[in-house]
Amino acid sequence: MFKKTRINLTILNSIVFIVIISILGSMIYSYIRLYVYRDADRSLQDMVGRVGLTGEIPKFGGQGRDPHNNIIVLIWNKNNVLINKDDIQDNYQNHFIPHTYNKIQTTEVDGYYFHTISVRATINNQPVKLEFIRNVDIERNILRRLLLMMLIGGALGIILAIAAGLFLAGRALRPIKNSWDKQQRFVSDASHELRTPLTVIQTRGDLLLRTPEATIQEKLPDISIILKECRRLSKLVANLLTLARSDSNELELERKEFNLGELLRDIVEHFSEVASFQGKTITLTSAPPITFVGDRDRFHQLIVILLDNAMKYTDDNGLIELSCFETKNHIGLTIKDNGIGMKEENVGRIFDRFYQVDKSRTKSESLGLGLSIAKWIVDKHAGKIKVESKLGEGTKFEILFSKRKKI
């Protein structure tokens, strides 16, 4: 699909380039042609004016001279018989019989080109026709070379335009192709993630239907699994809707001031009970009251995602440290754990949707969407998120929000 689109874009760009070059080339050639012939035509018109003022008719110079190297005047009687036959070769005479007057004409004789202009006059009380002739081979050769150069340049330009069109079309389509590929992977992964809990629910439901006489207590494990998968499915759908709306810019932030330290204390207080039950410890280090301007609910979601992520990948008796700080230009937030960590090559991909680091290394189930949502929340607040992790030593998330940028 993208290959065909790239070719179509290249063809369209090439056609537009050819049309523009053709129009510009025609305009330039027409202007130069007019400019080159202007001196030759002006010399003819000056000769006509001079003869009209002085009455003197210049002589060509005798039989045998080539007319393509001179400006000459031919005198014709009313019967189109040449009077000054000695001024031009016999084999040229029939080509110059005048038919149009007071207008410059182009005449070709044996490969030579001339501009001519004829006027009516009277000599010795006899009506005659005066024809002024000027050779324009030099001008024509100049224009011929110019046209050849323009054609060669145009051909080279078209080849370069096609090559550049292919290159630029490829670059222009690259982000679209990447977005398309991501969307395809997103749809595929979402279908897979949705299919898994649905399959479990369907399987357990079929088992329940096979033994309608069984009591609820007997089927409690199946019911529990169904409810667990329903909650997982609900969470997955909610996350998918969040990401889909974020991609289409349908989600707007409700910006208002709130106390960041107070929000962190509320979240830590809630997570501390769960952490204590799992044998883990969460600590909070907060500077003096920090006022933050942003969406409080989304910021709450951000902290919960990062803490939940730290809880999943921290072993029993692990330590999770949460801290916030304020400088002259930034408000910062760090979440550090001493959990299992990850390899360096995985760090750059953890914000990709549905990406999960080696499921076998943790007992917890993850949808692979939380950090994608966290990254979106940070970006919407004009912040930057940095991740440092070492395998077996733990992971640290550091987020900086600029005070100068408006969100």
pLDDT of res. 53: 64
pLDDT of res. 50: 78
DSSP of 290-350, one letter per residue?
-EEEEEHHHHHHHHHHHHHHHHHTS-TT-EEEEEEEE-SSEEEEEEEE-S----HHHHTTT
- How many CB atoms are closer than 10 A to CB 317? 10
Tell me the average pLDDT across 171-192.
74
The maximal CA–CA distance of the chain, rounded, in angstroms, is 139
At 199 the three-state DSSP class reads helix
- Regarding pTM above 0.85, the answer is no
Q: What is the pLDDT of residues 244-257, one digit of tens each?
A: 777 767 677 888 89
- How many CB atoms are closer than 10 A to CB 347? 17
Q: What is the pLDDT of residues 100-144, one digit of tens each?
A: 888 888 888 888 889 999 988 888 788 888 888 888 888 889 899
Tell me the average pLDDT across 165-174.
80
Report the DSSP pairing between strands 255-259 and 126-135.
Answer: unpaired
Lowest-confidence pick of 81-95, 108-122, 154-168, 204-218? 81-95
pLDDT of res. 68: 46
The answer to whether 274 and 311 are in contact (CB under 8 A) is: yes
pLDDT of res. 60: 43
pLDDT of res. 166: 81
Report the DSSP pairing between strands 319-326 and 281-286.
Answer: parallel
> Residue 66: pLDDT above 50?
no
The answer to whether 62 and 131 are in contact (CB under 8 A) is: no
CATH architecture entry for 2-142: 2-Layer Sandwich (3.30)
Whole-number Å distance between alpha carbons of 208 and 225: 12
pLDDT confidence band for 335 (50 / 70 / 90)? very high
pLDDT of res. 396: 93
Whole-number Å distance between alpha carbons of 315 and 86: 117
At 394 the three-state DSSP class reads strand
> Residue 69: pLDDT above 50?
no
Q: Which residues of 52-66 are buried (b: 16+ CB within 10 A; e: fewer)?
A: eeeeebeebeeeeee
Burial class (CB in 10 A: 0-12, 13-18, 19+), 395: buried
> CATH 1.10.287.130 spans which residues of the chain?
182-247
Round the average pLDDT of the chain to a whole number and report it: 82
> CATH 3.30.565.10 spans which residues of the chain?
255-402
pLDDT confidence band for 336 (50 / 70 / 90)? very high
pLDDT confidence band for 65 (50 / 70 / 90)? very low
Whole-number Å distance between alpha carbons of 118 and 97: 10
pLDDT confidence band for 61 (50 / 70 / 90)? very low
The third-level CATH classification (topology) of the domain covering 182-247 is: Helix Hairpins (1.10.287)
- Tokens 């883990």 — which residue? 280
The third-level CATH classification (topology) of the domain covering 255-402 is: Heat Shock Protein 90 (3.30.565)
Tell me the average pLDDT across 81-87.
79
Q: What is the pLDDT of residues 354-373, one digit of tens each?
A: 777 655 455 555 667 888 88
Q: Using the 8-state DSSP alphabet, how is residue 82 labeled?
A: B
> CATH 3.30.450 spans which residues of the chain?
2-142
Whole-number Å distance between alpha carbons of 334 and 323: 5
pLDDT of res. 275: 85
Q: At what angle do helices 220-247 and 137-210 cross, to 10 degrees?
A: 160
- Tokens 């025609």 — which residue? 26
Question: Does 40 or 386 have the greater pLDDT score?
Answer: 386
